Amino acid sequence: MPKFAGAEHVAASVHPDCGILRAVPFRLPVYCAFTLLAVVTNYFLGKEVGWDVLSYHLYAGLNAVSDRFDQDYFAAGPQSYFNPYAFVPFYLLVKTGLPSLLIASILAAAQSMILWLTFELGVSVCPSQNTRLRLAVGVSAAALAFVNPILMQQLGSSFTDITTGAVVLAGWLFLVGTVRGPSAARTICAGLILGGATALKLTNAVHAIAGLAVLIMLPLSTSGRIRHWVYFGISLGLGFAIVAAPWAIRLEHMFGNPLFPLLNGVFRSPEFTTEPIRHFRFTPDTLVEALWRPFQMIDPMNMVQEELRAPDLRYAALLVLVAALFSRWMWQRFAERAVREPYAHLAGPTRVLAALGCGLAADWVLWLSGSGNGRYFLPAACVAGVVFLGLLFTAFAAQPKARNYIIIIIFGVQAIQLWMGTDFRWHEESWGGPWFDVAVPAKLRTEPNLFLAMGGQTNSFIVPYLAKGSGFINISGAYVLGPEGASGARIKTLESRYAQRLRVILYGDELHEDSDRRSPRRSQVDTTLSPFGLRVDMGDCETITVNGLQPEFAFAVDDEKRSIPIAHDKRFFVSCRLIPSDTDNSARFARQQSVDLVLNRLEDACPKLFQPRRPLTEYNGRQWSRHYTNTDINAWISGGELKFSQPDRGAELVHVGHEIDWIKAPLRLACGRRDNIYYAKVLGTKQAP
């Protein structure tokens, strides 16, 4: 078999433990090939314009480069105040007006760096010094990372899990370097990089913490490892502080919480809940569920590791391989009394493989217990493929055919999963024209107004297209803002600043009277605005048109199962002027007191389900409701009945008694979660859970 020219000479001149960027032929062509693969894949998947893009991705980039703290308030909900710097490239590209395909191709090319770094990690765990074999392991590792359906979903999109994930892998590559040859400089560099990645996206904290487990395999004494842990910890904090400081200073000045809205139980800003914020959507309830999760991920079902279908057999394959190798090791140790290789004399690649395995195990536990969301696991998912191939090439060094058959089977089955069982985009649109084609009426382009947005999707992507100086507040949706307290005072300040230039904005081609039996309805909007002392002026309404964006569905009031699509290739947003309202709200406020009493008692009866506690109650003219972000539960009172649902799971409505009974006294509930579905039963009744 022909050999790569000059490869042996280069390999011989490099000591196996001197560094991580080993002599591997054709490194640059490999990089280019994976970049081309990412760009082509993005082209076939189409443009991504899902919920996150419309709700906060574009706005975050705008917020990072312009000071909007004085004119906006929760414009994109609580996500308005997450560190926005990772979204700046997307915003700047969209602002240029370049074709959407070109923008996405640029993003995909940059995002392909995560495959480059996976290739380097794969090379580092190859047990052989054969250059072609090292190349094969690296390419296979990057290819195994590529067939991750969640990674493919994010190629060419505005999601920053993949871009900040590449930064995480860069930090882990430095950790691998210091495991090969202990170096304080490399350890410090790893800490700085991982600290910065965590500041850009706080979900990367689990990967940064897991880096400590990688350093367990340093070929040093205990005191030497502790010294490197100290280096890593200090540099980790320093890297976080450097990247987070500019944004944290603004948050501290605005809210008194440098990490707002997170950790508000510590900083206690009056403008957000002080209850713990933690999303339980994908976290397992029991140890059995946690152990089963790698095998559950094989099933092409949604709501397993993310909302879309993203089947992935790599974790189960890795677990089975580890179990098989452990069993073989136990047999050799106890049945054959094999001599175990001393820890201090592990070869460089073997030590790196063990280090990555320790880091991956720690990462998995932290991630699964913290969120279980596959989007936040992307860098560790790449490491999982590296560890799998490292173990496979090490265990089957003498049986290359068996090893190759296993690799072919893994790629083949995963390819079938990608073809038949994967959702590749949250909301796919065709290429052509700019990323957003927003037609704003001249009045809204030239006259700055304060817009009060309504809806679970904030639609803050419209903000850059409004008149300069316009303000934006999302008052009604997943996080409800009220007219009282610190938030109410902030809203009143903005209202007084804009005086007579107040408008409402929400999804729909126009605002309808109740007789039209179509949404959005004027009465619902006025009901939401009434506590703020405002109502709609139907004589001054404008419609914003977003071309090339499929519509949501508007539902008829009398038959919610009958959908009425407005158009096939446009989405409309109606904006009407707001004027003072003289509505007497005394009866409404009195009614809300009894409603709040009932909902508070419901929360106290089952705190596991209804969290965070005490969100604001919203009234839409027909029902009083609360949304619990930690558990994705909606609870409401209508027709004298107390009910809740878990819409993201498609679960049935759960009835938990009559309002009048809860007013008389708190009821006792048997409640919890079974098969990821929340249930509750009023004790002492025949109601089924």
Write out pLDDT tens, residues 49-105: 999 999 999 999 999 999 899 999 999 999 999 999 999 999 999 999 999 999 999
Q: Which residues contact 565 (CB under 8 A, 6 or more apart)?
A: 551, 553, 554
Flag the least confident range among 22-26, 264-268, 340-344, 570-574. Answer: 340-344
Q: pLDDT band at residue 441, thresholds of 50, 70 and 90?
A: very high
Average pLDDT over residues 141-157: 97
User: Could you read off the pLDDT of 629-639 as tens digits, one per residue?
Assistant: 999 999 999 98
- pLDDT of amino acid 519: 83
**Coil, helix or strand at residue 68:** coil
Q: Where are the beta strands (DSSP E) in 116-204?
A: none
Cβ burial 331-361 (10 Å sphere, 16+ → b, else e): eeeeeeeeeeeeeeebebbbbbbbbbbbbbe
User: What's the mean pLDDT when you consider all of the chain?
Assistant: 90
Please determine, for residue 554, whether its predicted confidence score (pLDDT) is greater than 50: no
Please determine, for residue 681, whether its predicted confidence score (pLDDT) is greater than 60: yes
Tokens (6 digits) for 44 = 């076939």
Average pLDDT over residues 238-250: 97
The CA distance from 213 to 169, in Å, is 15
Please determine, for residue 5, whether its predicted confidence score (pLDDT) is greater than 90: no
Overall residue count recorded for the chain in this entry: 689
Tokens (6 digits) for 199 = 């500041």
User: Could you read off the pLDDT of 598-640 as tens digits, one per residue?
Assistant: 999 999 999 999 999 999 999 988 899 999 999 999 999 998 9
Q: Give the residue among 222, 215, 223 at the shortest CA–CA distance from 183.
A: 215
- pLDDT of amino acid 337: 55
Q: Which helix (H) or strand (E) holds 498?
A: helix 485-498
Tokens (6 digits) for 162 = 């993949």
Let me know: does 240 contact 248? Beta carbons within 8 Å: no
The CA distance from 630 to 640, in Å, is 26
The CA distance from 249 to 160, in Å, is 22
Position 180, amino acid: R
**Coil, helix or strand at residue 109:** helix
- pLDDT of amino acid 550: 83
CA angle 448, 451, 456 (to 5 degrees): 150
Q: Which helix (H) or strand (E) holds 77?
A: strand 75-78
User: Could you read off the pLDDT of 189-223 as tens digits, one per residue?
Assistant: 999 999 999 999 999 999 999 999 999 999 999 99
Q: How many CB atoms lie within 10 A of CB 370?
A: 15
- pLDDT of amino acid 615: 94
Please determine, for residue 22, whether its predicted confidence score (pLDDT) is greater than 60: no
Please determine, for residue 346, whether its predicted confidence score (pLDDT) is greater than 70: no
Query: 124 or 12, which is more confident?
Result: 124
Tokens (6 digits) for 127 = 């047990």
Tokens (6 digits) for 272 = 């957000």
Q: pLDDT band at residue 648, thresholds of 50, 70 and 90?
A: confident
Let me know: does 354 contact 394? Beta carbons within 8 Å: no
CA angle 555, 558, 562 (to 5 degrees): 40
User: Could you read off the pLDDT of 662-676 as tens digits, one per residue?
Assistant: 999 999 999 999 888
Determine the angle formed by the axes of helices 287-296 and 314-334, rounding to 10 degrees: 110
Let me know: does 544 contact 572? Beta carbons within 8 Å: yes
Please determine, for residue 455, whether its predicted confidence score (pLDDT) is greater than 70: yes
What is the maximum span of the chain, computed from C-alpha positions, in angstroms? 89
Let me know: does 38 contact 155? Beta carbons within 8 Å: yes
Q: Which helix (H) or strand (E) holds 634?
A: strand 633-638
Let me know: does 270 contact 486? Beta carbons within 8 Å: yes
